[in-house]
């Protein structure tokens, strides 16, 4: 199984909306489109996606423009790593994308990797950070990218 762990892209703090209702800002929308292109170019297209029900994660997923079945889950909103992992284990997909929030998504990525990628931003896992793991190889990192890397 290939597991893709993505933190939602940059959100708009000026909206004045409740946290779970905050949309992406223009930079976040641009990053999500770029990440979708990167996933397709690297042949990391998921066969299913698990996405937090928050507006910013839903919008991130939508802008990836992947032809992928998706399930939205309230339980993934600001979820702890164990909760995210429970949802992953319950999904038999060959290539599974999870779009979630820090600190849970970063902590899960850190806990699953055998050897962390040689990338200065893996530890703080900025918005849009994406780790691709080969779970059959015990959590080997296949790829790691941030929107900044895409320009």
Nearest in space to 50 (alpha carbons), one of 1, 113, 115: 1
Residue 83 pLDDT class (50, 70, 90 cuts): very high
Domains of the chain: 2-9+20-43+50-69+87-150 (3.40.50.1240)
What pTM does this model have?
Answer: 0.98
| pLDDT tens, residue by residue, 105-145 | 999 999 999 999 999 999 999 999 999 999 999 999 999 99
pLDDT tens per residue across span 29-51: 999 999 999 999 999 999 999 99
Contacts 24+ apart (CB under 8 A), 66-71: 66/36, 66/39, 66/40, 66/97, 68/97
* E strand map for 9-115: 48-52, 70-73, 95-100
């Amino acid at each position: 199984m290939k597991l893709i762990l993505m933190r939602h892209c940059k959100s708009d703090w000026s909206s004045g909306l409740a946290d779970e209702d905050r949309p992406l800002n223009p930079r976040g929308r641009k990053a999500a489109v770029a990440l979708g292109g990167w996933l397709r170019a690297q042949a990391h297209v998921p066969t299913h996606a698990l996405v937090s029900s928050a507006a910013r994660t839903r919008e991130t997923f939508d802008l990836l423009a992947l032809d992928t079945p998706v399930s939205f889950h309230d339980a993934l909103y600001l979820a702890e790593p164990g909760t995210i992992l429970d949802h992953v284990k319950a999904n038999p997909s060959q290539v599974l994308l999870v779009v979630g929030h820090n600190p849970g998504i970063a902590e899960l990525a850190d806990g699953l990797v055998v050897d962390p990628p040689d990338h200065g931003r893996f530890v703080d896992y900025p918005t849009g950070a994406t780790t691709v793991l080969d779970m059959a190889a015990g959590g080997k990192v296949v790829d790691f990218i941030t929107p900044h890397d895409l320009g």
